[in-house]
Chain A
Amino acid sequence: MAAAALVVAAILAAFAGVLSRAEIAGGLSTSDWAAIRFTILQALLSAAISVVLAVPVARALARRRFPGRGLVVTLLGAPFILPVIVAVLGLLVVFGRSGWVNAGLDLLGLPGLSIYGLHGVVLAHVFFNLPLATRLLLQAWQSVPSERFRLVAQLDLAPRALFRAVEWPLLKQVVPGVFALIFVICLTSFAVALTLGGGPRATTIELAIYQAFRFDFDLGRAAMLSLLQLVLAGGAAVLALGLLPSVSPDAGLDRPLQRWDARGGTQRFADGVSILLALLFLLGPILAVVLRGVAGLAQVPASVWQAAATSLWVAMLSVALLMALALPMAGWIAGRGRGRVEAIGLLGLSASPLMIGTGWFILINPWADPQALALPVTALVNAMMALPFALRSLVPGIRDVLRDYGRLAATLGLSGWALWRWLILPRLRPRLGFAAGLAAALSVGDLGVIALFADPDRATLPLQMYRLMGAYRMEAAAGAALILLSLALLVFWVFDRGGRWHHAGT
């Protein structure tokens, strides 16, 4: 509860900061309305396609065991944590005008594809968010007790009956939240939408906020647009999380999930194709980033390594802050049994980083040197970005734990810290590991607010990479991008693995 209040306060304070310096704002122009329409349209399409495509991939991963599956699952997380500019350049190596796909089409004598336009924006957003959707759906799938599948095997249910009996109820329960999450993420997109949208047609609200802050210095307008963005995101969140019941999946006895269904050749084939296509789509651009990066590694200046250390430090701080925010909030929400407060978590994502950064800058400036606080503020904003993901994962986890062991804990008089220390935290470890890994990786890759506060000694890795690009040093920047990618994957892997390491009964 206090944590939820803190998130709201952090955003409201930033608002108040901006408004304290704002002049009376005017209304919305026609180009603003066009931006709003485009923003919603692309976010809806991106979220819908990401979720629809994630279903077969998650299902395939849930019911297949093969060597390297763990690696595939980890790698599938990679696009989500890539800085936009790296990912976009990676996508272009594959889908661009002189990219691999078009080179292939050319060989076959077929006309080339253009990646620019609404479909390009959606393609990039699906690239970023398909892995996230897959991860969240996979988690849900794995929470179905294996007893359920044993029953399915006993009854010899046909795939369609299985879908109706087990999978459809599961999807109905999980998909709205995942959809809302991705919708909100895409809502604040700006560089992707602009670059691949092909021009001002593809203007989003975030660009209008950017312009208001940077060229017009119209704080009133910036605050109004930020508020609009928050309302849109909040509306989506309430619709998806509030109106639909959020029931936690049933518990099964802890034992490795074994599946007896889906042994048919067609299904095997379909699953294989799903996984393979997803891998090709997601790993192609990443492979491109790696190939470019290896060539540039030798040219990476020492300052990049220093920046990597800074980024790592910010990431750790951000994980600590995330835990401090997410655990009390998740505990509180789980106790309520309603998804409304989870909507607050989404606000952290939908608040424009530029708005939050500027707001906090205005607030901090009279009291302290904002640059001295650059890294803590960055860590806090990163933690708020990761909050909705953490909540989506932790809340059902806590609900399960309380349902299974709540009575036992109550007979023992476990409460307060002891309840967390001896029951909830140990049971949540895998989910905590996932949330912490995601937060750390996101933080490593985030450019967001740091650019507003940073000075040369405190640059983070993404900022340093941008600086290299800004100085024509594309090769060195590609090397930095590879370091960034590796670092983000590494911190994710360490946390995620750490969470599952020696985890009893899982």
Chain B
Amino acid sequence: MLELEELLIRLGTFELRATMALREGRRYAVIGPSGAGKSSLLNAICGFLPVAGGSVRVKGRDITADPPGQRPMTMLFQDNNLFPHLTLRQNVGLGLRPNLRLTAEDEELVAAALARVQLGDHAEKLPAALSGGQQSRAALARVLVQARPWVLLDEPFAALGPALRAEMLDLVENLVAETGAGLLMITHSPEDVRRIAEEAIFVADGRAEAPMSAADLLNDPPPALRVYLG
């Protein structure tokens, strides 16, 4: 269980409040107008934004003050998800050992993860030598070896074409199913929500609403969401 209790994020005059409980193994979409604070919400959960009040708990443990790397979650950003100076093998390996001292067992895990995202032949390449889709898959391979209970996506596939994006979302869906992790993903597209999310969190007007069934929310949107969806 990932619980947000009276969570308050304050950035200058902007404020966002959230109270909700999310279950592991389920897939949540975060939708809402630009500037509503979707990214801020995820950044706060992950520990990149200091929170002004309230708490974040995972399995009952308060992690509000924990550094990002020690939270039971991992996040993919809009860009810079791979270090450009390291090979794919090293990039993925960092997910296992921050000092990159990989045991033979670790190496096997890395190789398996890369093979799982069909990049087995590209282990020694630098990210710049790959296409956008391949880079996204490499980042997902890292998420796979990290095997954290929660995966947070801040639109990492926004720059990909529709077909490629759909492919990535399918891959994500399979991966979280394999690891049993919970998924929390920001999106602008109702199609993405229908495709992958079981529940949706609507963020607007300084509040992140508790999750509702994605289908219900899209079929019968509240007024603010209706304006956003157009």
Contact = CB atoms under 8 A, between A and B. Distances in A.
Report A-B touching, CB under 8 Å. Answer: yes
Given A418-B98, A505-B85, A404 B80 contact: yes
Interface in B72-123: 74-75, 77, 80-86, 90, 94-95, 98-100
Given A408-B82, A410-B48, A412-B146, 8 more contacts: A408-B83, A410-B47, A413-B69, A422-B98, A423-B83, A427-B83, A503-B85, A505-B126
Return the 3 tightest CB-CB contacts between A and B, nearest first.
A413-B69, A505-B84, A410-B68
A364 B41 CA distance: 59
A505 B69 contact: no
Contacts of B85: 426-427, 429, 503-505
Given A426-B85, A427-B85, A505 B100 contact: no
Given A422-B94, A426-B85, A505-B126, A407 B68 contact: yes
A411 B90 CA distance: 15
Interface in A376-430: 404-405, 407-408, 410-415, 417-419, 421-423, 426-427, 429
A460 B74 CA distance: 55
8 contacts: A254-B128, A408-B83, A410-B67, A410-B69, A411-B68, A504-B84, A504-B128, A505-B84
A429 B85 CA distance: 10
A409 B230 CA distance: 38
A418 B97 CA distance: 9
Name which of A408, A414, A503, A505 has the most chain B CB atoms within 10 A of its CB: A408
Contacts of B95: 412
A412 B90 CA distance: 12
B172 to A, nearest CB: 16
B80 A405 contact: yes
A415 B86 contact: no
Interface in A133-158: none
Name which of A413, A415, A423 has the most chain B CB atoms within 10 A of its CB: A413
Contacts of A423: 83
A132 to B, nearest CB: 28
A175 B84 CA distance: 30
Contacts of B69: 410-415
Name which of A405, A415, A427, A503 has the most chain B CB atoms within 10 A of its CB: A405
B209 to A, nearest CB: 26
Interface residues of A, number: 23
Contacts of B126: 504-505
B219 interface: no
Interface string A464-506: 0000000000000000000000000000000000000001110
B100 A422 contact: yes
Contact of A426 (B48, B74, B86, B94): B86
Interface string B24-55: 00000000000000000000001110000000
Nearest to B96: A412
B98 A415 contact: yes
B77 A422 contact: no
B13 interface: no
Contacts of A254: 84, 128
Nearest to A254: B84
Contacts of A411: 46, 68-69, 74-75
Contacts of B128: 254, 504-505
Given A421-B99, A504-B128, A505-B126, A414 B94 contact: yes
Given A422-B94, A504-B84, A505-B84, A408 B77 contact: yes
Nearest to B143: A411
A505 to B, nearest CB: 4
B131 interface: no
B75 A413 contact: no
A414 B90 CA distance: 13
A417 B99 contact: yes
A405 B100 contact: no
Nearest to B128: A505
Contacts of A422: 83, 86, 90, 94, 98-100
B228 to A, nearest CB: 27
Contacts of A418: 98-100
Contact of A408 (B47, B67, B80, B99): B80
Interface string B204-215: 000000000000
A414 B47 CA distance: 14
Contacts of B48: 407, 410
A422 B99 CA distance: 8
Interface in B165-185: none
Interface in A75-114: none
A49 to B, nearest CB: 39
A412 B86 CA distance: 14
Contacts of B74: 411
A5 to B, nearest CB: 26
